[in-house]
Amino acid sequence: MTDDRDVDARLAERIRAGQAQALGELYDRYAGTALAVALRVVADRSEAEDVVHDAFVAVWKKIDRFDARRGSLRAWLLTVVRNRAIDRVRLRRASVDLDDADERSLLRTGPNPTWEDALQRTSAADVRAALAALPDEQRRALELAYFEGYTYREVAEVTGVAAGTAAGRLRLGLAKLRESLAGSAGAPLSTVEAVLSEDIGR
Amino acid sequence: MSQISCEQVDELAGAYALGAVERDEDRSISEHLATCDEPHVEARDLIGAEAALAATAGDVAPSPGLRDRLMTTVAETPQEHRPQAVAAVTPPAAGAEPSRPWWRMQPVALGIAAVVLLLVIGLGAWGLSLNAQLAEREDALRAVANADAAFAVTGSAGSGWVIESGGDAHFVADGLAEPPAGQIYELWLLDAEGKPTAVGTVDDPDSLVVVPLEQDLDNATTFAVTVEQERVEAPTSAPVLVASLEG
């Protein structure tokens, strides 16, 4: 059975070779998810479509910098979409200057395939259920950070807690989400929780 | 924050994975993870979480024109690693009618030297890809062995060759893009007047395509490939592959 990542890897090679049709195929695969992410962040359909358009153009232009060993093409694309969307929101809030969101997307593309493996095996509904099952403060922190584009310091300000606590909620929330999706692989959650309880207590 | 400790990296692992750190922290953590001897297992495990949160956003159908807008932009946008090149064949902009059909346009002639050079390169590439399919390999090798001329075929669907040998002609390609679901590639020869003649189809491109053309190249100046719903008498779409047959 062909893995989505195999299909994406072949698309990446064809895009690298200058085949515009391959980018069209990538669009057909992921435009719906990309638009959903952008729309959730910028809350304006026209602006969200601009973000999606610009993100696919960025993938076209910068494909030679993409390294499939460091993550999937889907993950990179969606990170570009989300970073570009967040930069627009942050610009509105004037909390940061715009810089190259795509550079950060590449840096943060990780070598660990756990999330992608988990997503291959689970549905979007499963992921939503796993997110919904988190304690409210952790889910809220994740949503503020991912969809609203807040930094952990801003999450702390919005939710009225210390910056270390906000960072801890993001860390523990993601660790639990990962454990829900990936089973027992990776660092044991009990270890993470023990460390976090010390961090948050400071 | 130019320097950051291992402890700080671990504390900020979740925020970093979501891009929810300040710019200087983001750079510092990236540099730290790239150079630190400590494994930072948890921090590395959390990277990639964005893919899961993206999945919770669901799916929203884009406006019908967005794809055409994107493809028009891409056709005019060079890639960083190929600054002199753009997509070899560009579809017409959405809603824009060209002043005349593409097959009426003058092909760009390739020089004899370029054809010879490309033939040599092409032979090397074929040698790697022909092992899988014996019958097609024999057809292709026979065409190459007796080749009188070879013409490079390029475009957004991939690349290939038109080989002329002993009065026959073959279209040979390796790794063509799959046509959209339910559609086929149709092959065309165009004369000097720009009149197209259908000379074959490719229904299901696999790793290697070898198609005998249904007409010789005597009166043809251009070879082209379009995507069609079924075999038709005149092209209904812009070509995805083209080759000049004038040397």
Nearest chain B residue (CA) to A155:
B20
Confidence check: pLDDT of B232 > 60: yes
As a whole number of Å, the CA-based R_g of chain B is 25
Based on the domain organization, do B122 and B234 belong to the same domain?
Answer: yes
Q: Last residue of some domain: B72, B97, B122? A: B97
Distance between CA A167 and CA A73 in Å, rounded?
A: 28
Distance between CA A45 and CA B81 in Å, rounded?
A: 32
Contact A23 B70 (CB under 8 A): yes
Based on the domain organization, do B239 and B179 belong to the same domain?
Answer: yes
Based on the domain organization, do B121 and B237 belong to the same domain?
Answer: yes
All CATH 1.10.10.10 domain ranges of chain A, comma separated, are: 112-202
Would you state the pLDDT for residue A156?
A: 96
Based on the domain organization, do B19 and B48 belong to the same domain?
Answer: yes
Based on the domain organization, do B240 and B120 belong to the same domain?
Answer: yes
User: What are the two backbone dihedrals, phi and then psi, of residue A77, each rounded to the nearest 5 degrees?
Assistant: -55, -50
Q: Last residue of some domain: B71, B97, B123? A: B97
pLDDT tens per residue, range B27-84: 899 889 888 898 888 888 888 788 888 888 888 999 989 999 999 999 888 888 876 5
Based on the domain organization, do B34 and B116 belong to the same domain?
Answer: no
Q: How far is A189 from chain B (nearest CA, A)?
A: 10
Based on the domain organization, do B121 and B238 belong to the same domain?
Answer: yes
Query: What is the span of the domain harbouring residue B67?
Result: 62-97
What CATH class is the domain A112-202? mainly alpha
Has residue B1 been placed in a domain?
no
CATH 1.10.1740.10 for domain A1-110: yes
Q: Which of A102, A176, A109 is nearest to A142 (CA)?
A: A176
Based on the domain organization, do B153 and B38 belong to the same domain?
Answer: no
Based on the domain organization, do B215 and B109 belong to the same domain?
Answer: yes
The one-letter amino acid at B202: V
Based on the domain organization, do B110 and B211 belong to the same domain?
Answer: yes
Contact A21 B73 (CB under 8 A): no
Has residue B106 been placed in a domain?
yes
pLDDT tens per residue, range A14-57: 999 888 999 999 999 999 999 999 999 998 999 999 999 999 99
Q: Which of A138, A172, A174, A144 is nearest to A157 (CA)?
A: A144
Domain count, chain B: 3
Contact A152 B57 (CB under 8 A): no
Whether the pTM exceeds 0.90: the reply is no
B48 near A CB under 8 A: yes
pLDDT band for position B143 (cuts 50, 70, 90): low
Token pair for A66:
């993409």
Contact A62, A102 (CB under 8 A): yes
Would you state the pLDDT for residue B140?
A: 62
Based on the domain organization, do B147 and B116 belong to the same domain?
Answer: yes
Has residue B121 been placed in a domain?
yes
A98 near B CB under 8 A: no
Return all residues near B156 (Cβ < 8 A) that are at least 6 apart. Answer: A19, A20, A21, B87, B88, B89, B90, B91, B177, B240, B241
Q: What is the largest CA-CA distance in chain A?
A: 54
Nearest chain A residue (CA) to B30:
A107
Would you state the pLDDT for residue B117?
A: 35
The label of the residue with tokens 């495990």 reads B45
Positive or negative, the Cα torsion across A124, A125, A130, A136? positive
For each of chain A's 202 residues, which pLDDT tens digit applies?
457 778 888 899 999 988 899 999 999 999 999 999 999 999 899 999 999 999 999 999 999 888 877 778 888 899 899 988 888 887 766 544 444 555 555 555 554 556 767 777 777 788 888 999 999 999 999 999 988 888 999 999 999 999 999 999 999 999 999 888 876 344 444 444 444 444 443 3
Based on the domain organization, do B47 and B166 belong to the same domain?
Answer: no
Higher per-residue pLDDT: B140 or B23: B23
